[in-house]
A and B are shown apart, each in its own frame.
Chain A
């Protein structure tokens, strides 16, 4: 055998030899299968979260002594597993629950991943976690919010993110705090868009308010594609609640603020539930007439030099955008998972599951404004919480809770005045 064919064969043999040799030299790897919508109508969120997971894996795999108490940042790899590195296997479930199910199965049986992570849309998390449960592989739900993803009697499913009831509880603690400061909160109003997201959050707020003895003056569900919300604003004007909570997408959030300006209605305080109020187009559109509007975010970039600031810089270098609340919540869940993998000390699924159930991260070990990470028997993080932020000028400042606050809370809001 001579000529090009022989050379090609020689190169191929050499390549194969190298490919065979490398894994033997490198430290062991732990495979994390990640399911996200990388195409379809939630692709933007999936892509942003993918970049966040890659940054998180870098932080774990390489030494980052400057990141404070963040678990596994100081060391390279997982120390308890001989410096094993995390290997991420991404799949695209296209937002389809059945594709999520199928790909979860593939990650487990074909890619032989050690743990699973995902899956953004609650519908996809429902089906993918069921596969993990059947196959006995731990699944960390990064940020899907539907309440009953946990609590189905599954023992392999954990969730790091706060869910609707946590947000509701945060609002109640905030109201309590405000009452102590002498503000009047006689009644609140809840205005929600009427699909999955708006309905579940509004239900949770209504339930929490009832429990805390705060009257809900009115609840107004509406369609996010409405082009006129004057009737809804007039209803609010008539009821005169002290706080109006909006659970809205982008265009409708902007429409509400503008309509309130036109109808000269301004309650003492407006709270937006993330989403529309956090959209990049919200501030340019209505900042001038929405001064003092509050919003929630568990993520805060923080002061220059802080761990969160450095994480944001790493993310920015990769994507040229600031890290958003959704991706950051995914990243936090990822760190909690990595911490459990390290404590498990082995790739045995049962050991990883036990380590996850024993997770106990303190606030100073987190990048998010949670009270900690600790899972109850259903796998839900019971210490998940969120910050409240307020629109001052052209940006949101962290104003509550006091331990993290960067700026003074203004109550009542100024609006356009």
Chain B
């Protein structure tokens, strides 16, 4: 595992220099953002098995607050990120307490409903730009605005955030808290009967998840320089997190990153090759990937690897 981590780290660090071009850097940034969002979702959706399809609510708050503080007080957008995290924590408590009483599909549906309510509310609230949205600084006033001409600084900022998140997740995995989470996933009632403080553990997982999802949102809006209700709170934002994590393997440390490594380039490539034709082939291919996955490998690539790895290791000896 140690060598694997090292190889991955080196590959991610070296990527911008191997593919030295603005467009490839931008794909890299998108990939890291997807990995961060999905990894953040993974804490509650993967490890604890509480499939939230409303994580866009934290992402949206994270995305809106930085541009809001810029528009209101001309502060550098990044100054809004801590405030966004605080708001997300409050929201996580308010949402978590009632919805965690629900199980399975009911929990998922409740999270969708809340996220959609927030999206509609934001879309009619003039203070946050209503349906028109908010813009960031068009041209950076200084490095502190984090409005760069090149995508390269974003790439490394995002990479650092992902590294921190994975480190935290790894720590959670090994801790008592991590065992509680997996116990809840395996069987809530059984976990409770063994003395796991279920509600409290779930809420803690949601809080941790909300913090990083909010940070992902802030990174997105600072990099894009624009946010509107659909790109902040849209249901596709939530769905993307679920799909990326599920593809790589939900509830595993590197699952979301692996999912992003496959899905983001696939999305960009299909859109680049077929999007201009306007036939919608992009979505057909994208949907096809998801369909194949759901049919043959619902556990994600991580499970596939676990099944194939021993066989691959045996092959050289057989030869």
Give chain A's interface residues, CB within 8 Å of chain B: 38-39, 43, 46-47, 50, 89-92, 94-99, 101-103, 105-106, 108-110, 122-123, 126-127, 130, 133-135, 146, 148, 152-154, 194-196, 199-200
Contacts and interface: CB of A to CB of B under 8 A. Distances in A.
Interface of B: 21-23, 26-27, 30, 123-124, 130-133, 135, 138-139, 149, 151, 220, 224-226, 228, 230-231, 268, 271-272, 275-278, 280, 282-283
Contact of A101 (B131, B224, B282): B224
A122 B26 contact: no
Contacts of B130: 195-196, 199
A126 B22 contact: no
Nearest to B149: A134
A102 B278 contact: no
B276 A38 contact: yes
Nearest to B123: A195
B125 to A, nearest CB: 11
Contacts of B22: 105, 108-109, 135
A135 B26 CA distance: 14
Contacts of A90: 275-278
B284 to A, nearest CB: 10
A106 B23 contact: yes
List of 7 A-B pairs having minimum Cβ-Cβ separation, nearest first: A92-B275, A38-B278, A196-B131, A90-B276, A195-B131, A152-B138, A106-B23
Contacts of A96: 231
A103 B220 contact: no
B124 A194 contact: yes
Contacts of B139: 133, 153
Nearest to B21: A109
B282 A109 contact: no
A95 B231 CA distance: 10
B132 A92 contact: no
B220 A98 contact: yes
B30 A46 contact: no
Given A96-B231, A102-B26, A195-B130, 6 more contacts: A43-B280, A97-B228, A123-B230, A130-B226, A195-B123, A199-B131
B131 A130 contact: no
Contacts of A127: 224-226
Contact of A110 (B23, B135, B224, B225): B23
Given A109-B22, A110-B23, A123-B228, A148 B275 contact: no
B280 A39 contact: yes
A137 to B, nearest CB: 12
24 contacts: A39-B282, A39-B283, A89-B276, A90-B275, A90-B277, A91-B271, A91-B275, A91-B276, A92-B271, A92-B275, A97-B224, A98-B231, A101-B26, A101-B224, A102-B268, A106-B23, A108-B22, A109-B21, A123-B226, A123-B231, A130-B138, A133-B139, A146-B132, A148-B135
Contacts of A97: 224, 226, 228, 231
B138 A153 contact: yes
A50 B275 CA distance: 12
A154 to B, nearest CB: 7
A106 B272 contact: yes
A39 B271 CA distance: 10
A122 B275 CA distance: 20
